[in-house]
């Protein structure tokens, strides 16, 4: 386990990987369940059987909240996310000391229990606990947001990053259409209750962010010591 010390107001990059690099999701049903968990586990309220509650009012295929639940009180602000086959990344804002740990415990346990139930598996789904690193300043935040939301998605782009660079506008639109990254929430492709867009949107307009991401993918941003430490650290 690797975690920096962080307190309320900290922005934190979190990653959680499948054990031995194995998949943590196998199909779109698993992936959508991840979105449901991001939506409904980010709450001080913890119903005994949250998914049955959704089924009872036919909300299991949406991200809407049952009206009979109390008003949502967030544990964290989810700034960005990306889910791929064998791991996921989050950028979280800690709202009260210990809330990231509480949210990540609920998310990891919920994913593991459902995966094992659905596929008849036993044992650990994840490679230990999550890893977390404080995002120390606005410049670093910009870099990490592009790393989380775009770079990880373009790893799956047909032909990889080389082809993505050949026609960046098309590859960026392709990435924005991926429902398992928050990039589309910032580009206007989605409007979901998962993501708190206020801080990143205060730094960029959608077009400015696309240009920043383009420069990032083409390696035009200087790599300072903070970024080098991140690249060589626990998130690769």
What's the CATH code of the domain at 56?
A: 3.30.70.1290
Q: What is the pLDDT of residue 185?
A: 98
**Do 13 and 110 sit in the same domain of this protein?**
yes
Tally of CB atoms within 10 A around 223: 11
Cβ contacts of 192 within 8 Å, gap of 6 or more: 35, 39, 63, 185
Q: What is the pLDDT of residue 231?
A: 52
Q: Is residue 190 part of a domain?
A: yes
Is the entire prediction scored with pTM above 0.85?
yes
Q: What is the pLDDT of residue 224?
A: 54
Token pair, residue 43, equals 């709450």
**Do 117 and 172 sit in the same domain of this protein?**
no
Which residue segment(s) compose the domain that 183 sits in? Answer: 137-231
Cβ contacts of 52 within 8 Å, gap of 6 or more: none
Instruction: Give the whole-angstrom CA distance, residue 196 versus residue 110.
Output: 22
Last residue of a domain, one of 80, 114, 133: 133
Last residue of a domain, one of 133, 155, 173: 133
Cβ contacts of 179 within 8 Å, gap of 6 or more: 31, 35, 190
Q: Is residue 24 part of a domain?
A: yes
Last residue of a domain, one of 99, 133, 167: 133
Q: What is the pLDDT of residue 128?
A: 87
**Do 149 and 116 sit in the same domain of this protein?**
no
Cβ contacts of 177 within 8 Å, gap of 6 or more: 184, 189
**Do 19 and 123 sit in the same domain of this protein?**
yes
**Do 22 and 120 sit in the same domain of this protein?**
yes
Q: Is residue 236 part of a domain?
A: no
Q: Is residue 120 part of a domain?
A: yes
Q: What is the pLDDT of residue 161?
A: 84
**Do 67 and 116 sit in the same domain of this protein?**
yes
Mean pLDDT by 10 residues, the chain (236 residues): 72 95 96 98 97 98 98 98 97 96 97 96 91 89 94 91 92 97 97 97 96 90 53 48
Q: What is the pLDDT of residue 234?
A: 43
Among all chains, which residue has been given the structure tokens 């990540």?
104
Q: How far is CA 214 from the centre of its chain?
A: 20
**Helix segments in the chain, DSSP class H:** 28-40, 50-56, 99-119, 138-146, 152-154, 160-166, 168-176, 183-187, 198-203, 206-217, 225-231
> Into how many domains does the chain fold?
2
**Do 147 and 113 sit in the same domain of this protein?**
no
Q: What is the pLDDT of residue 4?
A: 56
**Do 177 and 101 sit in the same domain of this protein?**
no
CB 90 within 8 A of CB 108: no
**Do 101 and 148 sit in the same domain of this protein?**
no
**Of 4, 11, 17, whose CA–CA distance to 132 is shortest?**
4
Name the DSSP letter for residue 57. Answer: T
CB 176 within 8 A of CB 189: yes
**Do 127 and 147 sit in the same domain of this protein?**
no
**Do 20 and 67 sit in the same domain of this protein?**
yes
**Do 88 and 160 sit in the same domain of this protein?**
no
Q: Is residue 199 part of a domain?
A: yes
Q: Is residue 97 part of a domain?
A: yes
Strand partners, 2: 131
Q: Is residue 45 part of a domain?
A: yes
Instruction: Give the whole-angstrom CA distance, residue 16 versus residue 127.
Output: 7
């Amino acid at each position: 386990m690797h975690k920096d010390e962080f307190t309320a107001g900290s922005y934190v990059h979190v990653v959680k990987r499948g054990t031995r690099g194995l998949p943590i999701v196998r199909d779109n049903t698993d992936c959508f369940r991840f979105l449901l968990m991001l939506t409904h586990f980010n709450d001080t309220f913890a119903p005994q059987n949250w998914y049955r509650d959704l089924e009872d009012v036919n909300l299991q295929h949406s991200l809407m909240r049952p009206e009979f639940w109390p008003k949502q009180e967030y544990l964290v602000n989810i700034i960005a996310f990306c889910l791929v086959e064998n791991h996921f990344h989050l950028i979280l804002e800690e709202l009260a000391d210990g809330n990231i740990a509480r949210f990540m415990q609920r998310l990891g346990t919920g994913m593991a229990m459902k995966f094992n139930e659905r596929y008849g598996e036993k044992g650990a789904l994840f490679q230990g606990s999550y890893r977390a690193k404080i995002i120390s300043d606005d410049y670093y935040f910009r870099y990490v947001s592009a790393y989380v939301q775009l770079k990880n998605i373009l790893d799956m782009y047909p032909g990889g990053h080389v082809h993505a660079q050949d026609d960046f506008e098309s590859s960026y639109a392709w990435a924005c259409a991926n429902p398992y990254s928050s990039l589309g929430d910032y580009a206007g492709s989605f409007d979901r209750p998962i993501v708190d867009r206020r801080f990143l949107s205060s730094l960029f307009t959608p077009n400015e962010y696309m240009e920043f991401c383009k420069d990032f993918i083409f390696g035009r941003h200087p790599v300072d010591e903070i970024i080098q430490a991140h690249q060589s650290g626990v998130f690769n």
